[in-house]
Structure 1
Amino acid sequence: MSKRLAALGTVSATALAFSTSAIAQDAASDAQPEASQPEALDDNTIIVTADRREQSLQDFAGTAFVVTGEELLQRGVQDFTDLQDEIPGLSVANNGGNVEVFIRGIGSSNNTELGDPAASFHFDGVNIPRPSGIGSAFYDIERVEVNVGPQGTLRGRNATAGSVNAISFKPGLGIWDAGLEAEYGNYNQRSLRGALNIPIGENVAVRFAGLYLAHDSYYNNVGPVQGIGVAEEVENFSGRAQILFKPTDRLTVVVAGDYISEGGTGYTGTNYALPLGEIADGNLQSLDQINDPRDVIARGITPDLNTDHWGIRSTITYETDDMTIEYIGSYRDAVYDYEATTPLSPNFPGVIDALSGGAGNPNADIILQESLDNFSRFRIISDSRSQFHELRLFNTEGPWIWSVGAQYINEKQFSFLGSTGDRTPFFSGIEFNTNTDSEAWAVYGDMTYSVTDRFRLTGGARVTKDKKERNGVAARYAIALGDGNFNCCLGVRVGTEGFEFAARDRTIINPDTDADGTISDQEVFDFYANGIAQFGDRDNLDEILNFGPFPGFFGTVPGRPDCLDTNFGDGLTCNGFEPSGQFTFGVPFQGQIFQQDGNYEDEFFDWRLRGEYDITDDHLVYALVSNGHKSGGFNDNLGDLGVAPTYETESVVLYELGSKNEFYIGDVRARLNGSIFYNDYSDQVFTSLLSVAQAVQFTNTFGGQTITLPDNTSQALIVSFSFNAADSEIYGAQIDGGFDLPANISLDFSALYLEAQIKKAEDIQDFRFQADVDAANAVFRSIEGRRLPRTPKWQLNAKLSQVFELPTGQLDYVISAGYRSSQFHTIFNSLEFDANGNASTVTDGRLLDKIDGYFTMDIGAGYTIDDAGKYRIEAYANNVTNSVNEAAIIITQFDNTRFFTRPRTYGVRVRARF
């Protein structure tokens, strides 16, 4: 929904895992069917389930990364977004509360109810279609796996980029144990984690785990109006309960439930349009002048986030002599509810003058006061209720290792986006109020055959049918107070203190309540009022509504009895009105309430082929080709029940050659893996903000559809629009390795070289401009040869860890460092164009979307007090260099809004095992 407003390595095996790795590993082993257990592995082995069976990461013929639960703690990782700089090729951004995951340049920024992630997210085997709040489930975690490349035959729907799988610890039979951890850090960070494993007889065990995490805001309100809270304050609660029932050696049943509550002030981002653009004194501000991007000039209300995400699931496995039968069923309800006003600007030299209309402006105080007293706000509600069902039959022992199954996913969404335009001319807000239903069915099969003891062939296929439909309403409100020519329209106040949207409680969806085929002005006003639960304390729009939809004369400005019509000569003292003898209340733009009725269906076929050969037991080579699809969809209806333009399904084909090797250099055990890859990316979908006029022009020219707008449709209305824009190619090389050095020192490293650009494309609309505001620049531009967003050419990571065995316990540390070269965040690559279409580096800073290269570093150290590992104290520092960088950038006609990675955080924690 934010688009409509403006997601390696291992630690020393001797390190203690949260709740103790011994408890968790025993529990995990007891919770799994015997047939799924890997062969005996040494303590340094990393386990991965990329092929949907447990195996050593070194034995997996493909690219995957694993971060253990202990690593998450050691580095101070709070949630999934903190892995942004930990794994090469992975980009994770919290874009206004929406978690966007890109893997090697493949992803999706369509985070509306009509879009789906391109990287499939799973928690304990369950597909999570909307991952809002799931970051607070990252406790009592065994590991997080990131599988690179299309996962169509393995993980299913919409997994062109890859998949992310979070795996929690399971209950353990015959184990009675508990762990508790407390933490305190800067920004007043407080956290408490706990886990309890209880055996009930010989065949039943339960496991409880919980988390409390809170910290103060990373933002600072440095503006003239204090007392307004700002973004990124957090208060989260989460709990998980699991019960394991194993009545026989063949049957295992796990039933789990979890609840997540995320509160605080959410994520507004910061709009850089003012410091990056031309301001009154003509100086172009530099990013270097902004010392802290989270120092902002706040206004309006304190942002308020309420996320409630809960679910239940069951996993039933039954072993026969020849195979294992597994059923996974889940129901999840994720409600994301966020209301906020955005800061006026980041802090920079001259910001107050800029907000006052320029130094020396005679009305500077009034202009500044009206800017600070602007209550233009937004509210987003996303309620996703999803079911996931999968029945799978598989065998994990050669020479035939196979898996066949069927999968069904159903998701029902309620989606609301409302905004108010306080003090703005001819604009009172927008509203999207819709219900969306989607279903996906799939059958699949995947098989690996050992041709010889060293040579294996794999083939897989999946057929998927995807369906999505939506109904509801979208509106742009334009209610003005002014004279007969609407010359003076800054007097409407809406959204001030106490204002509430009706949201779910709206009862009028179709404004044509008398069903006569036309929408009168009175029906427009009634429809608008039905969407407001309560007007604000200083709103005057409710008083204006009492005058009705007709010209009328009144002697005072509604809500301002001191502003008599005879006193308008004093200019801005009456909310900006010019002198006028009559006020007219009207709706100057008709056709701005659009009934939504869209649907899309598609079927696609995913496949993969792979060959792998063990040169020796420690040297593996492989070659693979795999195909994946991400379902297409439809856009908002253009006009009232007008056409909802569709976009086609994306397709990615990955070609990869790789080698995995373990060997000794003297007495030093070493690991070196490498791969080269090529992604053929077809029908790539971009999502941008376009006016209706731009969307119609693009669709009629390139979209394969002919659109005729219904009468009286406002072509200036801005919509989120997705379209097939290009065929791209993404290729490169990756290496990773490590050394087990003397003195219990481990050194791990990884490097990714990535090229990603548009190979072939039609010209597309420059969506950084609105046609009704800047028609000269809102034109079609070539994007061929442009580099894909979020694709640094070089991505490097290294990790050094060591363990000291002491007479009284154990001391260990880990240092993790990373580097990302420069990258872009839009397809226009920080270019602007002259009247002849010639491109050059931007001089209009608002168009700047390039992020310079940067380094990061995390450190952690711990001391285990006794040999039994019952007590431990740790210290950590995440982002030691305080390298705060943009994780996402949104550029529109009036915005250059940026969301940032976490600043430097540090703290201490203590653990106890009972």
Structure 2
Amino acid sequence: MNTRLFARAMLAASTALCLPALAMAQDTTQPTPAEASDQAEPPLDDDDIVVVTAERREQSLQDFAGTISVFSGEDLRKIGVQNVTDLQEQVPGLSIANNQGNVEVFIRGIGSSNNTELGDPAAAFHLDGVNLPRPRGIGSAFFDIQRVEVNTGPQGTLRGRNATAGSINAITFRPGLGSFDGSLEFEAGNYEHRSLRGVVNIPVTDNMAVRFSGMYLEHDSYYDNVGPVRGIDVAEAEDNYAGRAQLYWEPTDRLSILIAGDYISENGTGFTGSNFALPLGEIENGNLSSLDEIDNPRDVIARGITPVLDSDHWGIRTKITYDADDFKIEYTGSYRDVDYDYEATTPLTPFFPGVLDSLSFREDALAPANPDGSQPLVDPNIVLAENLDDFSRFRTITDSRSHFHELRIFDTEGDFIWSVGGLYIREDQFSFLASTGDRSPFFSGLEFNTTVDTDSFAFYGDATYEIDGRFRITGGLRYTNDSKQRQGVAARYGFAIGDDNFNCCMGVRVGTEGFEFAARERTIFNPDTDGDGTINNQEIIDFYFDGIKQFGDRDNVDEIFANGPGATDAPCLDTITGDNLTCNGFADTDNFTFAVPFGGQIFRQDGNFDDEFVDWRIRGEWDITPDNLVYALIASGHKSGGFNDNLGDLGVAPTYGTENVILYELGTKNEFSLGNVGVRLNASLFYNDYSDQVFTSLLSVAQAAELGGVEVDLPGGTNQALVVSFSFNAADSRIYGAQLDGGFDLPENIKLDFNLLWLEAEIGNAEPIQDFRFQADVDPENAVFREIEGRRLPRTPRWQFNARLSQAFELPQGELDYVISLGYRSSQYHTIFNSIEFDADGNGTEVTSGRLLDRIDGYWTMDLGIGWSIDDAGKYRLEGFANNVTNAIHEAAIIITQFDNTRFFTRPRTYGARFRAKF
């Protein structure tokens, strides 16, 4: 079935069911959606108790011996949280960034930025108990959410594979038996934000119910194209819709069955980030003394094409539970398909004073005047026009199809609580990344076209025994086996194109309007088509052309190579109009006189990795009184290793080992009263022993071979200066600190909650690391190995603070409530080099400007929400919200390479209002 048709049908069904039901409903005593769902899964008795399921059983937050943050869906909606990336401003220690569609999660400095098909997240994401290996597109699943739990620390025994940092668990409302209810909600705000959400819960029989929910969200871009080329939209506009359908059935008192399906479609202009290399001084005339001179970093100079995102994420799952009196048996099965397709050109630069002068500059523009006194050969106006007419584009496709199966036997009652089980995860990926090098006489693009298959199975056991009613001990053990295989091809294309004096260089065009990559339609994976054991120039050209479905309207690379490699008489096009003229501002030449491959490499990929590891945990907890708990725990977690790209054509693919984290934590949880004020006060001390930490660098093939300990000869013809992405076990790190959280129940129904984190995170024992901010084939003097011991880990502010003030009070008509959420993050770095610049002797100095700047200054955020429940029954509600009230402009991620300082920002100030009706 066509997935888009399925999605639209699900969304239409959800909305259609909501609308007539709203008109028909008359009984104001019917339960709310939350109450209906809770009938299927009874909550704890006290309405003020916060329920968590970190141990895969329901318990009070205050009874949980560990660190966790939990938010109800209602709490998140009140302050305008739209998706998972917004959570980072609510949870100390949590960093979430959307890096070109990749959701990167770090918890207390532990995470992963390896977003290739070979990388795995270090913080596991779960939707209703199902592990999602690729959480792309899951942001729009944040509708009809009961609660979100952020578990801190290794989750190796209970939450499984690759959870060294922790886990994020999104728990949706499930169908409630015996009640017909639902809601319809409309929301509007700035940036032309519009959202529609609908929910309906329908009892089919006394023991069966269905629940339909859907959402639609759209808004304009958070960026603004202020450049001379109009008609190009820029990143972060969204046009998303999603639907979820669930059926819950209790055929007997012992047996329950839940079947659910969901579909998420995310469209719009995606996430490109913005390259700050120019204003930070990478290019002459572009250096600013401070980024503060940029009024709005979301004002950019756009070029090329409007980014196009086409992401479909859907899945089906089932959970079958049987109660055998003394224990329960539970099976969870799921299939998910994530198809992410994104094509874009990145903005040339953010806007800053003098930006157009900077874009008009090129070294030849400053050449001496001609002997006759005329101006230099290159006109700055032409240079500006060429920069603005650059169609260097990229396209990335990730197609992940994953199977999840788990069988668990458990008992959650009595003095002995235990759980044993096994699970199997399989993921099949197709991964494509390609780019074009428009206007370049040397670099003409790259392509990765691969498939990766991953299998993981595990067996685990975990138990808690209550010794005397006050003291409990917990132990857990888990065995995991991981295997990964990869096949495909990786290529970097380099062509020398020009005349004898390279006069026609900027007339090389590829990627202009109408251009299409072949992607899945590629037919040649082995460039040695004649089978003679060597790859000649014609075979390189044939391979390159096979990866292109259609050249652009103003492309001329196809004409240049029409007669094969070597001498050519292809016309040198006017760089702007595409007419067959002499190149504007260049020497008089009408034709390219040579076009030959050089320095490019085509590497067929064939890698594999296998590993097995054991996770464990030990915990003791003691109830000093019913309201005072102390605990101590030790827990381990692993993140599977993997392999790198092949060095050379089918050459060795060096592997990197599995990461390991051991957490030591001592904590206490307390509730008491100060006069008529109820107080909750929790504290913990923690230490993470982080070993075999993996870093990823851009290395030359020769450096990668040396670092990877590759002692075999590389395949003949391999360019050892070629730059490759390379992951390796580089360091052991120490992460420690203290966390304090609590709350006050004040008079007049005022509540004040807070959370404070002090965090130290530094690299301990480490091998020297190649400075991946420089490329060995471009700047070999700086692309050398540097000491990193003692550097602070990225994304680890030393101080992090959150506070939340809320109140609800009765009005003559209904109830009014408000919430004020405040957050602070101290300064942090985003690379392991901590903004350090090295001199010729290897001495380092922290920079305050320039391309190497990766330091983010401390900042405050504030979110507001206010609501009016219009009637006493709470059927109708009007709300207003403002997220990031101060419009704090801060980076969620920074990527620094030889030519880039690319920054991704959290959302700007957004505000709006919503109306909700329940029935």
* TM-score bracket, shorter-length normalisation: over 0.9
The DSSP-based 3-state class of the residue aligned with 1:249 is coil
Indicate conservation of the 8 Å contact 2:95/2:107, yes or no: yes
Alignment-derived partner of residue 656 in structure 1: 665
Match for residue 836 of structure 1 among 841, 847, 858: 841
How far does residue 420 in structure 1 lie from its aligned partner after superposition?
Answer: 0.2
Q: Sequence identity of aligned pairs in percent?
A: 68
How far does residue 486 in structure 1 lie from its aligned partner after superposition?
Answer: 5.9
Match for residue 628 of structure 1 among 637, 648, 660: 637
Q: Does 1:546 align with 2:546?
A: no
Indicate conservation of the 8 Å contact 2:32/2:918, yes or no: no
Indicate conservation of the 8 Å contact 1:309/1:335, yes or no: yes
Indicate conservation of the 8 Å contact 1:547/1:585, yes or no: no
Within 5 Å, give how 1:352-371 maps onto structure 2: 352-357=356-361, 363-371=379-387
Q: Does 1:175 align with 2:160?
A: no
Indicate conservation of the 8 Å contact 2:279/2:286, yes or no: no
How far does residue 317 in structure 1 lie from its aligned partner after superposition?
Answer: 0.3
How far does residue 39 in structure 1 lie from its aligned partner after superposition?
Answer: 4.3
Q: For residues 726 and 845 of structure 1, what CA distance do their matches in structure 2 show?
A: 27
Map Cα deviations across residues 821-864 of structure 1 (whole Å, 9 max, x no partner). 00000000000101110011226610000000000000000000
Q: TM-score, normalised by structure 1?
A: 0.94
Q: TM-score, normalised by structure 2?
A: 0.93
Alignment-derived partner of residue 779 in structure 1: 784
Structure 1: which amino acid aligns with 2:760?
E
- The answer for unaligned runs of 5 or more in structure 2 is 1-27, 367-375
How far does residue 555 in structure 1 lie from its aligned partner after superposition?
Answer: 7.0
Structure 2: which amino acid aligns with 1:482?
G
Structure 2: which amino acid aligns with 1:122?
H
The DSSP-based 3-state class of the residue aligned with 1:157 is coil
Match for residue 599 of structure 2 among 578, 589, 599: 589
Q: Does 1:690 align with 2:699?
A: yes
Alignment-derived partner of residue 573 in structure 1: 584
Alignment-derived partner of residue 320 in structure 2: 316
Change over 3 Å in CA distance of 1:279–1:378 after alignment to 2: closer
Structure 1: which amino acid aligns with 2:36?
A
Alignment-derived partner of residue 13 in structure 1: none
Alignment-derived partner of residue 475 in structure 1: 491
Within 5 Å, give how 1:675-686 maps onto structure 2: 675-686=684-695
Change over 3 Å in CA distance of 1:20–1:796 after alignment to 2: farther
Within 5 Å, give how 1:377-396 maps onto structure 2: 377-396=393-412
Match for residue 598 of structure 1 among 586, 607, 610: 607
Q: Does 1:804 align with 2:809?
A: yes
The DSSP-based 3-state class of the residue aligned with 2:140 is helix
The DSSP-based 3-state class of the residue aligned with 2:732 is strand
The DSSP-based 3-state class of the residue aligned with 2:506 is coil
Q: Does 1:865 align with 2:870?
A: yes
Q: For residues 21 and 429 of structure 1, what CA distance do their matches in structure 2 show?
A: 61
Structure 2: which amino acid aligns with 1:626?
A
Within 5 Å, give how 1:665-744 maps onto structure 2: 665-700=674-709, 705-744=710-749
RMSD: 2.0
Q: For residues 407 and 29 of structure 2, what CA distance do their matches in structure 1 show?
A: 33
Match for residue 506 of structure 2 among 486, 490, 506: 490
Q: For residues 669 and 268 of structure 1, what CA distance do their matches in structure 2 show?
A: 47
Structure 1: which amino acid aligns with 2:347?
P
How many residues align? The count is: 880
Q: Does 1:85 align with 2:89?
A: yes
Q: Does 1:619 align with 2:648?
A: no
Change over 3 Å in CA distance of 1:492–1:821 after alignment to 2: same
Q: For residues 356 and 67 of structure 1, what CA distance do their matches in structure 2 show?
A: 51
Change over 3 Å in CA distance of 1:481–1:906 after alignment to 2: same
Q: For residues 104 and 317 of structure 1, what CA distance do their matches in structure 2 show?
A: 35
Map Cα deviations across residues 630-657 of structure 1 (whole Å, 9 max, x no partner). 0100011111111111100000000000
Match for residue 158 of structure 2 among 154, 157, 167: 154
Match for residue 100 of structure 1 among 95, 99, 104: 104
Map Cα deviations across residues 229-284 of structure 1 (whole Å, 9 max, x no partner). 00000000000000011111110000000000000000010100000015434854
Q: For residues 808 and 816 of structure 1, what CA distance do their matches in structure 2 show?
A: 26
How far does residue 582 in structure 1 lie from its aligned partner after superposition?
Answer: 6.7
Match for residue 434 of structure 1 among 441, 450, 470: 450
Q: For residues 710 and 859 of structure 1, what CA distance do their matches in structure 2 show?
A: 61
Within 5 Å, give how 1:210-221 maps onto structure 2: 210-221=214-225
How far does residue 898 in structure 1 lie from its aligned partner after superposition?
Answer: 0.1
Structure 2: which amino acid aligns with 1:480?
A
Q: Does 1:768 align with 2:777?
A: no
How far does residue 695 in structure 1 lie from its aligned partner after superposition?
Answer: 1.8
Map Cα deviations across residues 165-197 of structure 1 (whole Å, 9 max, x no partner). 000000011111120000000000000001000
How far does residue 38 in structure 1 lie from its aligned partner after superposition?
Answer: 5.5
The DSSP-based 3-state class of the residue aligned with 2:110 is coil
Change over 3 Å in CA distance of 1:398–1:539 after alignment to 2: same
Alignment-derived partner of residue 286 in structure 1: 290
Structure 1: which amino acid aligns with 2:876?
Y
- Greater mean deviation of Cα atoms: 479-488 or 720-729: 479-488
Match for residue 253 of structure 1 among 250, 257, 269: 257
Alignment-derived partner of residue 534 in structure 2: 518
The DSSP-based 3-state class of the residue aligned with 1:446 is strand
Indicate conservation of the 8 Å contact 1:556/1:562, yes or no: no
How far does residue 481 in structure 1 lie from its aligned partner after superposition?
Answer: 2.2
Q: For residues 124 and 360 of structure 2, what CA distance do their matches in structure 1 show?
A: 47
The DSSP-based 3-state class of the residue aligned with 1:196 is strand
Q: For residues 22 and 757 of structure 1, what CA distance do their matches in structure 2 show?
A: 51
Indicate conservation of the 8 Å contact 1:481/1:491, yes or no: no
Indicate conservation of the 8 Å contact 2:277/2:283, yes or no: no
Match for residue 276 of structure 1 among 272, 277, 280: 280
How far does residue 512 in structure 1 lie from its aligned partner after superposition?
Answer: 1.2
The DSSP-based 3-state class of the residue aligned with 2:648 is coil
Indicate conservation of the 8 Å contact 2:95/2:106, yes or no: yes
Q: For residues 650 and 808 of structure 1, what CA distance do their matches in structure 2 show?
A: 58
Match for residue 608 of structure 1 among 610, 617, 623: 617
Structure 1: which amino acid aligns with 2:451?
N
Q: For residues 701 and 218 of structure 2, what CA distance do their matches in structure 1 show?
A: 43
Map Cα deviations across residues 743-784 of structure 1 (whole Å, 9 max, x no partner). 010000010000000011010100000111111100010000
Indicate conservation of the 8 Å contact 1:281/1:358, yes or no: no
Change over 3 Å in CA distance of 1:770–1:676 after alignment to 2: same
Indicate conservation of the 8 Å contact 2:447/2:492, yes or no: yes
Structure 2: which amino acid aligns with 1:625?
I
Map Cα deviations across residues 467-517 of structure 1 (whole Å, 9 max, x no partner). 001000000112332235767533220000000001001111111122221
Map Cα deviations across residues 595-617 of structure 1 (whole Å, 9 max, x no partner). 00000000000000000000000
Match for residue 829 of structure 2 among 799, 824, 833: 824
Within 5 Å, give how 1:881-892 maps onto structure 2: 881-892=886-897
Map Cα deviations across residues 323-368 of structure 1 (whole Å, 9 max, x no partner). 0100000000001100000000000001000000079966110000
Map Cα deviations across residues 847-899 of structure 1 (whole Å, 9 max, x no partner). 00000000000000000011111100000000000002000000000000000
Q: For residues 305 and 596 of structure 1, what CA distance do their matches in structure 2 show?
A: 27
Q: For residues 271 and 871 of structure 1, what CA distance do their matches in structure 2 show?
A: 46
Q: For residues 430 and 769 of structure 1, what CA distance do their matches in structure 2 show?
A: 19
Indicate conservation of the 8 Å contact 2:770/2:784, yes or no: yes
Structure 2: which amino acid aligns with 1:599?
N
